[in-house]
Amino acid sequence: MNQEKLNPAFDLSGQTALITGGGTGLGLGMARCFVASGARVVLVGRRKDELKKACATLGKNAFPLPGDVTKLESAPQLVEQAEKLAGPLAILVNNAGVHLKKPATETSDVEFANVLQTHLFGAFALTREAGRRMIERRTGCVLFTASMASFMGIPQVVAYSAAKSAYLGVVRALATEWGPHGVRVNAIAPGWVASDMLNQAMRGDPARKAKIIGRTPLARFGEPDDVGWAAVYLASPAAKFVTGVVLPVDGGAAIGF
């Protein structure tokens, strides 16, 4: 096949994507790749300045939309505002999240619930609202950002692990329920990806860094664009027969020894 025949399968021109937690890190990496593929992106997050800064770097096809996914009652308004800004939603990326590193015996009920509120309840409320519209249009794609914690036991992150593992059940249930209506639902499970957060976690802990690299067959950390291009694939016509899957983008960490 020549390049002209391959490119249209990954073309997102004319499509609008809403990305939660899109101002920094993985969310910004996905937004960058979506814009490069022709999509308009609406970035949702609590930090207005970060959203504006991100959109300035992305160009005219990026729109900031301040919002808090933990306020479940605001989901309909967020989707409505996003569609007014950039057109009907074709893609929803549930990427917003919080991380709690703490021994399980010291994790309070409130802390556990707060992590689930952001990752699970917030993502589902937004997905439910966007899904209604996608079902009516008989087309759409929903992506969840899962994690290595969806597959493997990682100490001191019990709440985060519970939330990310729950994503897998949500993806499979919605893919089955919404597939007949033309809506695909998938997840990406990033491995250890270079970011300010990862750098902070690795600082002063060479043993942890060595352990991660040692179990990663590609022997390096990933980059945000690695996740971004995987998201483009799953949202594009190239994946029109792909639903209900969890795609690891991890350099082989989930299967490494």
How many angstroms separate the CA atoms of 108 and 101, rounded? 12
Residue 190's nearest CA partner among 159, 157, 216 is: 216
Catalytic one among 160, 167, 221, 229? 160
* Under 8 Å between Cβ of 120 and 44: no
* Under 8 Å between Cβ of 238 and 10: yes
Please confirm, yes or no, whether 160 is among the known catalytic residues. Answer: yes
In the numeric block, the tokens 């979506």 are attached to 34
Sheet of 89-94: strand order equals: 62-66, 40-45, 16-20, 89-94, 140-145, 183-190, 246-249
What is the set of active-site residues? 160
